[in-house]
Chain A
Amino acid sequence: MSTIDAQTRVSDPAQPGWKRYKFADHFRNAEDEFDACKLGFWLFLATEVLLFSGLFCAYAMFRVKYPEAFAAGSHHLNVWYGGTNTLVLLASSFTVAMAIRCAQLNNQKWLRINLIITIICAFLFFFIKLNFEYIPKWGEGIRPGLLYSNPFAGDPMEPIWWSVYYAATGIHALHVLIGAGLLIWCLVRSFRTTQYGPTHYTMLENSGLYWHLVDVIWIFLFPLLYLIH
């Protein structure tokens, strides 16, 4: 298809959004646009990985310096909350992969169902994190940085562990909320214009990649924070 064709194509409101979608003029075809978007998104994901690399690096260095403090701090975390959250994120990663598969196969009903399950999982993760971990710990005075006011620290350097913990899980939780927001946006577009189908699902694909990355980060945070004593 030439550029001229793309520009003069009539958009028929009766058609679903993914059929009406026209790729930008400066692309040869929809495939090229998709690939360019996806490469751009992978470069963005690279910056995200580098952001978390800094946190993992801080974790590693402080852990080598103060292993007793990390052991004492890790002792306070309940592995079942962490484990449940891991399963919740894994399940949501699966459903978002299924949602993309449904878009590729033009299965609009299950695309939406899978997206809804993913979004529910995202909020469930955040709820467990906030309600069973952050809020009780905050009440005990286990807080980041100079806010730390728990007189029963297991180790003199324990506040350092909690600063690392809050920074790492806090930034991760922020990413969970952003990812949920992206997926809600996808869901709204799917309901309003049937935006995603076999020939066009760029935003869904990239939101899915973002969500998988959030999952991968948690896959590493979970053992580092909860399992290693």
Chain B
Amino acid sequence: MKAETAKTFDPNDPHGFAELGEHHGHHITSTKMLITVILILVALTGLTILTSEAETYLVKEMGWALPEWVNVAVAMSIALVKGAFVLLIFMALRYENPLYSIVFLFCMFAFALFLGLTGMDIDNRGHVYPWKVHAINAGGTGVNMNYPGGTIHVLGETITLPPTTYTGSLANHVKEVYIEQTGISEDEYHRRWAEANHIHEHHDTLSSPARSIARTGPSGALDEAVPGEHAQDAAHSPETNSGH
């Protein structure tokens, strides 16, 4: 082996790095490659907008029963391809030391952990609450608020928030305050609501802002209850479970 051969000691290279070989220099990406990639990225941006519009059209105008995950899957697949092009070519991961790619892939692994563990937590809270009813509060539902009030300066505007206490959602609270302050009827509110949401001759009944226009969405919520009924959701309310 060459390593066994005695070498003169070089004080400027005590660890013998010079033997590891020369650097191959930086990779210079060709203009042709960069232009090809930017054109692909622009085309994919157009494609993702187009597919999204087409899906909306097929569902709303043609009445197609597209599975709800199609929208998410198509948009995310295109985004992944676009992201990969930027990372591999523009950020040159394809040509560089694989160590940088490993650093990036570690992030993706961490992201998968975040998603997986948080998802498991959210998914299984219903099982935990009945046992933990005296130990934890079922927070994060956004359905009640007790705020002492305060002043906030933002974008050159001074906003004074009055002390706020409500049960139900913030949106419903704001709606009730609005109706109370303007003194309009429920029907007038619905007319203004439809106008603000650009719904003119829609076949949906506008009985409640909770009943929004028909839309596609991801698979059903983990909670079976409609959002407005969260306040009464037995599985999430410590009070109803305290009898256990």
Task: Give which listed residue, A72, A135, A149, contacts B174 with CB less than 8 A.
Answer: A149
B215 close to A68 (CB less than 8 A): yes
**Residues of the B chain whose Cβ atoms lie less than 8 Å from the Cβ of A141:** 174
Q: Of residues B110, B174, B216, which shows the largest number of chain A Cβ atoms within 10 Å of its Cβ?
A: B174
B145 close to A146 (CB less than 8 A): yes
Query: What residue of chain A has the Cβ atom nearest to residue B229's Cβ?
Result: A156
B107 close to A46 (CB less than 8 A): yes
A64 close to B221 (CB less than 8 A): yes
**Residues of the A chain whose Cβ atoms lie less than 8 Å from the Cβ of B168:** 156
**Residues of the A chain whose Cβ atoms lie less than 8 Å from the Cβ of B82:** 219
**Residues of the A chain whose Cβ atoms lie less than 8 Å from the Cβ of B89:** 97
Number of A positions contacting B (CB below 8 A):
79
Q: Is A71 an interface residue (CB 8 A)?
A: yes
Q: Is A150 an interface residue (CB 8 A)?
A: yes
Q: Do A160 and B142 contact each other (CB < 8 Å), given the known contacts A153-B171, A212-B86? A: yes
The complex places the Cα of A97 from the Cα of B37 at a distance, in Å, of 11
Q: Do A97 and B122 contact each other (CB < 8 Å), given the known contacts A54-B114, A153-B171? A: no
| Distance in Å: Cβ of A22 to nearest Cβ of chain B | 16
Query: What residue of chain A has the Cβ atom nearest to residue B45's Cβ?
Result: A86
B79 close to A50 (CB less than 8 A): no
Segment of A13-21, A34-42, A171-179, A185-193 engaged in the interface with chain B: A34-42
- Contacts between chains A and B (CB distance < 8 A), count: 222
| Distance in Å: Cβ of B153 to nearest Cβ of chain A | 12
B174 close to A67 (CB less than 8 A): no
Residues of B134-183 whose CB lies within 8 A of A: 142, 145, 147, 152, 154-155, 159, 161, 164, 168-172, 174-175, 177-179
**Binary B-proximity of A85-121 (CB < 8 A = 1, otherwise 0):** 0110011011011100100110000000000000000
**Binary A-proximity of B32-56 (CB < 8 A = 1, otherwise 0):** 0011011001100100110011011
Q: Is B17 an interface residue (CB 8 A)?
A: yes
Q: Is B19 an interface residue (CB 8 A)?
A: no
Q: Do A220 and B227 contact each other (CB < 8 Å), given the known contacts A50-B110, A65-B221, A104-B26? A: no
Task: Give which listed residue, A3, A57, A70, A229, contacts B114 with CB less than 8 A.
Answer: A57
Task: Give which listed residue, B90, B103, B209, B212, contacts A71 with CB less than 8 A.
Answer: B212
Task: Give which listed residue, A39, A45, A101, A151, contacts B175 with CB less than 8 A.
Answer: A151
| Distance in Å: Cβ of A11 to nearest Cβ of chain B | 21
**Residues of the B chain whose Cβ atoms lie less than 8 Å from the Cβ of A156:** 168-169, 171-172, 209-210, 227-228
For the residues of A in contact with B, the DSSP-based class is helix
The complex places the Cα of A86 from the Cα of B47 at a distance, in Å, of 13
Q: Is B12 an interface residue (CB 8 A)?
A: yes
| Distance in Å: Cβ of A139 to nearest Cβ of chain B | 10
| Distance in Å: Cβ of B190 to nearest Cβ of chain A | 10
**Residues of the B chain whose Cβ atoms lie less than 8 Å from the Cβ of A2:** 12
Q: Is B62 an interface residue (CB 8 A)?
A: no
A153 close to B209 (CB less than 8 A): yes
Task: Give which listed residue, A63, A94, A104, contacts B38 with CB less than 8 A.
Answer: A94
| Distance in Å: Cβ of B107 to nearest Cβ of chain A | 4
A53 close to B111 (CB less than 8 A): yes
**Residues of the B chain whose Cβ atoms lie less than 8 Å from the Cβ of A229:** 52, 55-56, 71, 215-217
The complex places the Cα of A160 from the Cα of B193 at a distance, in Å, of 19
B91 close to A209 (CB less than 8 A): yes
Other CB < 8 Å A-B pairs besides A49-B111, A156-B209, 16 of them? Answer: A42-B99, A61-B119, A63-B218, A66-B221, A67-B220, A68-B227, A87-B42, A93-B86, A94-B34, A97-B34, A97-B90, A152-B192, A152-B193, A216-B87, A223-B48, A223-B52
Cross-chain pairs A/B with CB under 8 angstroms, 19 sampled: A28-B13, A28-B17, A54-B114, A63-B218, A71-B215, A90-B41, A93-B90, A97-B34, A138-B155, A150-B171, A152-B197, A155-B209, A155-B210, A157-B142, A159-B171, A216-B83, A223-B76, A227-B48, A227-B71
Q: Which residues of A contact B (CB under 8 A)?
A: 2-4, 28-29, 31, 34-35, 38-39, 42-43, 45-46, 49-50, 53-54, 56-57, 60-61, 63-72, 75, 79, 83, 86-87, 90-91, 93-94, 96-98, 101, 104-105, 135, 138, 140-141, 146-160, 209, 212-213, 215-216, 219-220, 222-224, 227-229
